[in-house]
Structure 1
Amino acid sequence: MCIRDSTNKGDAYGSYNALRPLWVNLATGALQTGTPLTVNNTINADKEVTAGYTGPFAWAEQYKAKAPFFNSYSTTGASEYHPVIKQQATIAGKNSWAFSLGSLVAGDELSWHLHMKGSGGQEVNFKWDTKGNFNAPGQVNPGSYANFDSRYYTKSQTD
């Protein structure tokens, strides 16, 4: 595809006007658009992806607000995991893990998970449910024990 670049070389912004929303910046070579861009296939980036956010910043408005990286879904499925962020990490010759953050549909319940899955089948899963509960598969180790009191002492299984 060829995009004709007819902007004036002396134009400080190297941009088209509002009637031409796609342009190539002559100073940087950047492809720019002033309108929303819809891509119906995979986007591959060899560098960082940076996203801005214009609000709303009100805590009370967050159900209706989007975010720099936003995903929305609706389902009738009874058991589905919808990752929003995923990373696969390998230490060459040692091990490999996939780390993901996302929501889990289980019947009528939704929960948020930090899921870690090893190439050998091992698995670690941290869960936050919509009732306010947090489940950690291992120990929770505080950075400071200064505020610990009897509420946090080790209890037996009968307690």
Structure 2
Amino acid sequence: MEVTIRELRKDEYPQLTDFLYEAIFVPPGTPKPEREVIHEPELQVYVENFGTGIADFALAAEVEGGLVGCAWTRIMNDYGHLDEQTPSLAIAVFEQYRGRGIGTKLLKTLLIQLQESGYSQVSLSVQKANYAAQLYQKLGFQIVKENAEEWIMAVTLNPKKKETL
């Protein structure tokens, strides 16, 4: 399976809502929430008016001409918010494509893009039970805050260490 990582085109921005829904962690044995949940204000910050902010970056993973994953950032007051200089990250890969390294490729490429754009760190929020937390730790994210269910994680983006990503 050949995977292409590329910038998400402006005409594809509306598809971020599909990836936002896919990014919602659902523990095994728990039913998925209704799709309408993505219209809640605390989730809309991830996609509303995407492309208008200075830290609005989005990458797509494409397989056989179709989008199968997306990683994007913006400076927003979301679950993983640290400060007004740190973009928050969201990432999702459609379930049938998980476990194939697509999320890792998306994330590594996006981290390099953020480094090259001059950002010193990026943050995210992840539920402790989410298997993706291991991926984040493997790529250098460290826990900076936590509550009973989730971690706020951040990774330092150091241009001198770009090759380690």
Q: Which has the greater radius of gyration?
A: 1
**What TM-score comes out, normalization by structure 1 length?**
0.25
Which fold has the larger relative contact order, with Cα–Cα distance below 8 Å and residues 6 or more apart in sequence?
Answer: 2
The structure in which a higher percent of residues are helix is 2
